[in-house]
Structure 1
Amino acid sequence: MSDASVDPATVAHVADLARVDLDEDEAEAFATQFADVLDYFETLDEVPEVDSEPELVNVLRTDEARESLSQDEALRNAPEAEDGYFEGPPVG
């Protein structure tokens, strides 16, 4: 553990502000746990920073205009169609 300490009185004060009932043993336990969490955050400070952005590459294909389905071909497997459009259940 580092010098990042949380005393039980601070835990009890925060618990009181949050309207959480804690007894002395729970405040002690939470103080220890909070100190451990603060230590983990200090560990994150040791992670080296990334100096540059990775080179981004477009992995998608380029759009190409080509012939599409006719209206009859598009509606061929539709369960229901009306006036050249897909027909679905009413939304209400």
Structure 2
Amino acid sequence: MSDKQQVGRIALRVEGNFWNAYYALPDTMNDAVLIGSIGMAFIVNNPDRKQAFMAMMRECVGDALSARGLSVSHWKDPVSAPEHEKAGRS
């Protein structure tokens, strides 16, 4: 497998009072799997905790991929969700 092959992504979404992390395929949220949630109250004014949550979600996905014989060589910098994936849009 090429180091640059994207097998999925972590999609972070504000949904109600929670920040939810999903493992999703590269170009769709169809069949995305919820991997973790944290209350917005715990991260909204705490950048360190927000970074810690993102790091933990990356570790969890890395562990799951490793168990399937895949590895994560690097994580791309976060990008904004496409408009069609943002909350309240179809």
Give TM class, smaller chain.
0.3 to 0.5
TM-score by length of 1: 0.32
TM-score by length of 2: 0.33
> In terms of Rg, which structure is larger?
1
Q: Which structure features the higher share of strand residues? A: 2
